[in-house]
Structure 1
């Protein structure tokens, strides 16, 4: 048995040791073999939200998305089709695209100058044999899917069938007009922790009240008991008037198996006096999509296990927890507003980003401390709270996938 096969066998065996209702054993956050297996068996085999169509408005526009050892270039080609290429030269494996984003006419390897057209086909090379066939050496492509302007990629030759889940979600997200948004700002918060600890933190609000004072002033999700019938009824009435559905869609964990991927949609009330997620509770940008007013609510959306969004009436936040190394993760946040909104006139970056900037700084701190404790020889997995049900559903799909 090779070392790789032995390591994979050990990871699969580890996956069977987790006790239902409890956190994962420490090795899931401290083992290099587990991390390597995570990238190959989970990240490479799931759809990853990488950006928005507004980031590649014209032929030649591109951006790069990296995770673990992988890198993908998303580009709009000369026929205006959006494509995703694995960022690996077909000559000797150098990264081809070094810039984070920009506009170009070709993709040229900085090592030996092999040059690729925007569609990934090899265009020029030097000093190769006469029988060399360029058609055999196009860039490898990644699977790509666009949902209401959101761009997803998957490196697997057999990506999960996301379409049934998207068809269920589409009527609920349609009023937000996501395809007509633009990226107003993005930020990255590096945290010295395993990616699963960062993701798990987002999947539960058990920590919100003690750890997020600013968030807890406005979001009733921090305390289920505060979601009174009166508050929920007011949200339902206001959402209907604003043109927003309040139906809940929760097909995660075992419930998602007939859809091919986890999918989640839930609108919940903000506290009285708050129209959106902001310092003052007042709007920070124009209404998005087809909305006609502010209902005083927020919507959690999840598309697959790795892609989370929070939608207010005036802006949408996208969250990613991107693995870099075993215990290095980037918390990436993207703020999106109406495509025709003008910075300085319709919104300011400071007002737009305030809540999720301070909240993410809190998250960096508590996740860092979490990893430090998990690294201890004394760590033993503890029982999950009722408010941590999202972690339990994540574990279901994660353990199933890495054990395959």
Structure 2
């Protein structure tokens, strides 16, 4: 458990609603440690897709800050998440990023754990030692349409209502029938909050993302609004909902317990997020055609998805240190699609590869400027409305005891 930064109340009082956060939120090591404890350890994190661990014993690690999680399918076929901390003297139990295990054996003193987390054996611990008390610490798990969400702490935001409302909107895409075909990490020397804030607004899209801006109307609210009625007709025709779900802000049940869904139009001539507008992979789920749209989906405060008619892209902004963050991008297609026949990885990943490279550059420059002692938080634009919601959630989370 980290200690509360001594000047937190004073720092929070300096934040002016409708403006960026003060400098110290992005530069203080104590603030970063507090973020990990209050935000990352106590919220739902999208760690991956169930297709990544299809058989009992299959596992992968998910690391952030000083924490590490083991995501594994146990012998009964259930997906579990364990804290990757030996209950003996704290060594990492798993040291390989992914693999297949019969049991988990700590490399330090050979304490051995079942896939379910129970301690099978603690070597030479004496007659009074009770292994039942020393299993791996468990994290909470929700599998939503194949997407694995994990909350490391005990007090998880109540997601049931949000997922219940989101489920019929995402059902036509059949997330459960996706598979991960490519992952990429883009390290950026910046605080994780600057990376999240960048994702939450498209005020920067026109000047900073030339390739993205050619196809996505999100850069221009006026153009998006003009093209929306036609998109909604096409979406309904191919089997996609046309309603918007926005549980963020004052409509959220609790910070981190929200969901968001909005389908918006691509520019004319673009069926999907590709270089030439042409399809990249087979249609997802039950869709009967391309409507020329893209869907923004978010679950909680940390998990973001962009869903086209033929593929989905997941985004995470994983904190490593106070000014070290990984932009983690995951591309998914229908599970029966074959590389070389149904999709080409280079073509599939092109747009969000170049866009993420742009993001690394602009976020890096953003942090460099925020580091200046002369930085003063400026006012947010109307197109940055989602950042205000993020700040509201964030401030409530870090203020908890």
| Normalised-by-shorter TM-score class | over 0.9
Render the CA deviation track for 1:147-189: whole Å, top value 9, x for unaligned.
Answer: 1110011111121110011011111000000011000110000
Partner of 1:86: 83
Which residue of 91, 97, 113 corresponds with 1:116? 113
Render the CA deviation track for 1:333-364: whole Å, top value 9, x for unaligned.
Answer: 00010011111110011010000000000000
Q: Which residues of 2 match residues 83-162 of structure 1 at below 5 A?
A: 83-162=80-159
In structure 2, distance between residues paired with 1:213 and 1:309: 21
In structure 1, distance between residues paired with 2:51 and 2:289: 25
Which residue of 11, 14, 23 corresponds with 1:14? 11
Partner of 1:189: 186
Q: Which residues of 2 match residues 3-402 of structure 1 at below 5 A?
A: 5=3, 7-229=4-226, 231-257=227-253, 261-402=257-398
Compare 36-45 and 126-135 and name the one that shifted more. Answer: 126-135
In structure 1, distance between residues paired with 2:111 and 2:123: 7
TM-score (norm 1): 0.97
In structure 2, distance between residues paired with 1:255 and 1:126: 52
4+ aligned runs moved over 3 Å, structure 1 = none
In structure 1, distance between residues paired with 2:330 and 2:137: 27
- 1:165–1:260 CA contact under 8 A, matched in 2: no
- 2:44–2:256 CA contact under 8 A, matched in 1: no
- 1:287–1:313 CA contact under 8 A, matched in 2: yes
- 1:164–1:260 CA contact under 8 A, matched in 2: no
In structure 2, distance between residues paired with 1:357 and 1:260: 28
Cα shift at 1:17: 1.7
- 1:162–1:259 CA contact under 8 A, matched in 2: no
Q: CA RMSD in A?
A: 1.3
- 1:11–1:33 CA contact under 8 A, matched in 2: no
| Paired residues, number | 400
Unaligned runs of 5+ in 2: none
Cα shift at 1:104: 1.1
- 1:253–1:396 CA contact under 8 A, matched in 2: yes
